[in-house]
Amino acid sequence: MMLYISGDAIENKTLSSLGEVYSCGVATQGAAMPAPFKSKPKQNSFLLYPEDLIPFTRKPLFLIVDSSNSQLFATVPHMFGQPLMILMAPPDIPEHNRKRGSLFTLFLMEPLLALCQLCQLTQTTEDGWKHCKALMKKIHTQAIDGLARQSTISGTCLVRFLGDSILRNIIGNFVITWFVLRMLKVIDHLPTCIPTLPTEIVESKVSLRYILDIAETLNVRSLFHEITELAPLQ
């Protein structure tokens, strides 16, 4: 099962005493919150918490969380031993992009278009676009091949999800997103996932060079770090 969650992060001070998983939830209705909630925090049916997802974990679950507090969902209880993968958005998407919709979701569906939006790029040449698409396909292919190889060795749940063409495409695009956001100067935090990406994938100098080639083609190279400028991964 794939479950997609997108919404505003809402703090709930009343329930925070029950633990971190209840200190903040994701709104499951419109951005305009009910007036009583703003003045008097309480448990509300429109807030979704990590433990609310326990019933879904009885079967293999592929979870995407696109919210500024998505990291909270890394605590989803894994009680039934079924495969579980969680893709979580970074908390700091630039404000001018939030007004245009969910940038993280756009990255997972069409990473090149999301990159152009993030760099405020409105036009490029047809040849340039095709070249960038080809480079992103290479990153995607290398990532999926590497993940499949690692999963076969370690026996992680990725094997289950990589067998589905839709989920495989989303996972590959998530890796592209990770590389793009790591290289961009305006981004301080990266998307995360459970299980974590293997070192072989995230330290790929080849993929980083592809990202810089894409930036050069789109004439936005100045917005990206040099590979030698990147801080060591924690």
Higher pLDDT: 9 or 159? It is: 159
Higher pLDDT: 74 or 27? It is: 74
pLDDT tens digits for range 74-105: 999 888 989 999 999 998 776 555 555 688 99
Claim to verify: residue 81 and residue 110 sit in the same structural domain: no
Band (pLDDT 50/70/90 cuts) for residue 125 is very high
Number of domains forming the structure of the chain: 2
Q: What is the pLDDT of residue 39?
A: 43
Please determine, for residue 16, whether its predicted confidence score (pLDDT) is greater than 60.
no
- Only one residue has tokens 């060079």, namely 209
Claim to verify: residue 54 and residue 138 sit in the same structural domain: no
Q: Using CA atoms, how far apart are residues 198 and 178, in angstroms rounded to an integer?
A: 13
DSSP for residue 13: T
33 is in which domain, residue-wise? 1-88
Show the CA angle centred on residue 40, arms to residues 39 and 41, nearest 5°: 115
Claim to verify: residue 62 and residue 155 sit in the same structural domain: no
Claim to verify: residue 102 and residue 212 sit in the same structural domain: yes
Claim to verify: residue 223 and residue 121 sit in the same structural domain: yes
Peptide bond into 195 cis (omega under 30): yes
Band (pLDDT 50/70/90 cuts) for residue 12 is low
pTM for this model (two decimals): 0.85
